[in-house]
Amino acid sequence: MAIQTIDNNIDNGVDSELFDCLKLESPKSFFLFAGAGSGKTRSLVNILREFEQKYGKQFRLERKKVAIITYTNAAADEIIHRSEHSSIFQVSTIHSFAWGLIKNFTNDIKSWIKSNLTDEIADLEEKQAKSKNLQNKTSLDRAKKITSKKKRYANLDNIVKFTYNPNGDNITKDSLNHSEVISIAASFIDNKALMQDILVCKYPIVLIDESQDTKKELVDSFFQLYNRKKDSFSLGLFGDTMQRIYSDGKEKLGENLPADMLQPAKIMNHRSNKRIIRLINNIRKDVDGQEQRPRTEKAEGVVHFFICSRGLDKNEVENDISVRMSKITEDSKWDIGSEEHEVKTLILEHHMAARRMGFINFFEPLYRVSKLKTGLLDGSLSSLNFFTKTILPLVKAYESDDKFELARIVKKNSRLLKKETLKKSENQIVDIQKTNEALSSLFSLFKDSNEPNLLAVLKNIHKSQLFPIPETLLPIALREDRAVSDSAEENIDEIINAWDSALLSPFSEIRNYDVYLSEDSKFGTHQGVKGLEYDRVMVIIDDEEASGFMFSYDKLFGAKGLTTTDEKNLDEGKETGIDRTKRLFYVACSRAKESLAIVAYTDNMESVKSTIMSNNWFEENEIEMIKEI
């Protein structure tokens, strides 16, 4: 028993070493890089709690804060919650933090943008001057870019204050875009003594979680700041180079660190069962050879690799695999048919979840428009909220005969029942009657479990004037005849174009999409689940379906050969798509606590099998080939 305790707690000393760095009398910096599930986030929270106890009062009096930079808003919320909402901690994403630093420096921002635009315009004009044909697409696009940049330059003096939303698209004239905010903050930290003083005075401690993926420009600036202000500034980096999966991160972050930076190591993995840890140790073996140890009380656990022929019905394959896994693991929660089914399925791209959950027709056209992507994924798109936040709850209230809820939604959103409308109205009874008729007309579309398409719902509401139509959808709602207008408007806006297709989907797709957005969705992306953990994980792999270009599982598993570019990168010691994919695979597999199923679709089943066996990732009895169902 005593041995077990020593084993599991072998890394416990690290927390006090880290806390020691934060002592205000003698600040030091550290770099805690350790594998998945080694308790980095836990260490971060532990030292924050201890810091609050020792320095909380002092920091509040002196109006100082510890800045904690996380990769996502969700991670920020988690740390805020776990550090008990203490006001001395400012937990935010890198974009929010950077914006907070620069937002009051309007004149300096203007000068930076002017100088940047001057360089960009000069560069474009030089290229344009060399163009052999000014009428080809590239040259025409370049000409447009030059005009728009010149326009922005001319408008800069009219801007009183810049705006920026770290979670938005920032398309107004006075807004900064995401990369500008990062570059401006980095440039101010590097070059402005005042900014360096403000930063160190307000935030004597900056801690960065997932620093392997944090914008490299800013990480470099923090290193510079550390070199300048060592006596009054502490920089703490948490991360794992094996989990660097975005191109924004600094390559080889762990190399050439300042000599006085503390670099503690952790060797435990507190998260996963033994077999899963052996697998992830093997995946990183030829990258840096770091090996983790499981906790002594952990079970063996299960990993299983299903090699599936492309072209099979994926829903059927994956359902069958869930049943098969429940047998292999003797855990009924794997079984899709069981009431207690609880498996996290990791897909590569959101549209793979859309296909599996039944909202692909509505999702795909909108997802293709880059301006709509963020809002579509986080559910903040206002034109979409019309369906998800107004119509869907209304229809659900109708279906469950919840008159109270129905009245509440109508009162809140209806144009006809607005207080001001009713006040002005000569005959309120007629208005209420009109509302009832509008509702009946809308619900008639859903009679007998019918699922109308979204266009029918939109047109119905526009006609009855029950609710105001979002601005983006108005041109479509106003159209008399879709077919005529399609041919008449050649140069139609890409957003309207996308909505034109999306609106042809049945309303049931909105229901499914709404479930996907909610916390309890059983899907996550390989990238998006960084930092999280689940008992049972199914990793779905299909490069063709994902249609991305950053990752290639086919190459990682030997189903496809290397391209000449890959060969060239390899020769030059540069990173290849295989390296990136291996790290993504490591992140995905290391989310599993108890058992893990990999489901890989491929055209080359035998090559996949021999690759995953020859690099010792899977044993023969852990591999199953599914050619048909």
Q: Shortest distance, CB of residue 255 to ligand ATP, whole angstroms? A: 20
Ligand-binding site membership of 573 (annotated): no
User: Which residues have a Cβ under 8 Å from the Cβ of 494 and sit 6 or more positions away?
Assistant: 369
> Which residue stretch of 35-43, 86-94, 435-443, 560-568 sits at the interface with ligand ATP (rule: CB under 6 A)?
35-43
Contact code string over 549-588 relative to ligand ATP, x by CB under 6 A: ----------------------------------------
**Alpha-carbon span 73 to 79, nearest angstrom:** 10
Helix (H, G, I), strand (E, B) or coil at 140: helix
Cα separation, 414 vs 603, in Å, equals 54
538 neighbors 346 (Cβ within 8 angstroms): yes
Among 27, 39, 470, 577, indicate the residue that binds ligand ATP (CB under 6 A).
39
* Burial class (CB within 10 angstroms; exposed 0-12, middle 13-18, buried 19+) of 527: middle
Q: Is 39 annotated as a binding residue?
A: yes
* Residues in 246-285 at the binding interface with ligand ATP, rule: CB under 6 A: 270-271
Cα–Cα distance, 617 to 283 (Å, whole number): 7
Residues 108 to 147: which contact ligand ATP by CB under 6 A? Answer: none
Name beta bridge partners: 69.
92, 208
**Cβ–Cβ < 8 Å for 567, 555:** no
| 188 neighbors 106 (Cβ within 8 angstroms) | no
Q: Is 40 annotated as a binding residue?
A: yes
HEC assignment per residue over 259-305: CCCECCCCCEECCCCHHHHHHHHHHCCCCCCCCCEECCCCCCCEEEE
Residue whose CB is less far from ligand ATP, 34 or 353: 34
Binding residue per annotation — 389? Answer: no
Stretch that binds ligand ATP, among 37-45, 200-208, 215-223, 617-625 (CB under 6 A): 37-45
Dump strand ranges (E) for 293-412: 293-294, 302-309, 344-347
211 binds ligand ATP (CB under 6 A): no
Closest distance of CB 242 from ligand ATP, Å:
9
Report whether 417 contacts 435 (CB < 8 A): yes
34 annotated to bind ligand: yes
The structure tokens 């948490």 sit at 238
Nearer to ligand ATP, 200 or 584 (CB): 584
CA dist 119 and 89 (Å) reads 39
Closer CB to ligand ATP, 13 or 561, in the complex: 13
Rounded to a whole number of angstroms, the minimum distance from the CB of residue 42 to ligand ATP is: 4
Near ligand ATP by CB under 6 A: residue from 4, 5, 6, 42: 42
* 236 binds ligand ATP per the rule CB under 6 A: no
Tokens of 29: 């910096």
From the CB of 523, what's the least distance to ligand ATP, in Å? 19
DSSP lists the bridge partners of residue 539 as 346, 598
* Interface with ligand ATP, residue 301, by CB under 6 A: no
Q: Distance between terminal CA atoms of the chain?
A: 48
Amino acid code (one letter) for 575: E
Q: Does 36 help bind ligand ATP (rule: CB under 6 A)?
A: yes
> Is residue 13 annotated as involved in ligand binding?
no
Query: At its nearest, how many Å lie between ligand ATP and the CB of residue 62?
Result: 30
Q: Which residue in 29, 30, 41, 534 binds ligand ATP (CB under 6 A)? A: 41
- Distance separating alpha carbons of residues 241 and 218, to the nearest angstrom: 17
Residues whose CB is less than 8 angstroms from the CB of residue 65 and which lie 6 or more positions away in sequence, other chains included: 59, 88, 89, 90, 202, 203
Count of residues interacting with ligand ATP (CB under 6 A): 14
536 contributes a contact to ligand ATP by CB under 6 A:
no
Indicate the burial class of 481 (C-beta count within 10 angstroms; 0-12, 13-18, 19 or more): exposed
Q: How far is the CB of 7 from ligand ATP (least distance, A)?
A: 11
Q: Select the span of 32-40, 333-341, 401-409, 610-618 touching ligand ATP (CB under 6 A).
A: 32-40
- 26's CB contacts (< 8 A; 6+ apart) are none
Task: Write the interaction track for ligand ATP spanning residues 505-534; mark x where CB under 6 A is met and - where it is not.
Answer: --------------------------x-x-
Is residue 240 at the binding interface for ligand ATP, with CB under 6 A as the rule? yes
Strand, helix or coil at 380? coil
37, 358, 393, 558: residue in contact with ligand ATP (rule CB under 6 A): 37
Q: Does 290 bind ligand ATP (CB under 6 A)?
A: no
Q: Pattern 69-108, binding to ligand ATP, x per CB under 6 A?
A: ----------------------------------------
Residue nearer to ligand ATP on the CB measure, 12 or 374: 12
Is 38 known to sit in a ligand binding site?
yes
Q: Is 36 annotated as a binding residue?
A: yes
Q: Which residues are annotated as a binding site?
A: 34-41
Binding residues for ATP: 34-41
Name the site residues for ligand ATP (rule: CB under 6 A): 36-42, 240, 243, 270-271, 531, 533, 590
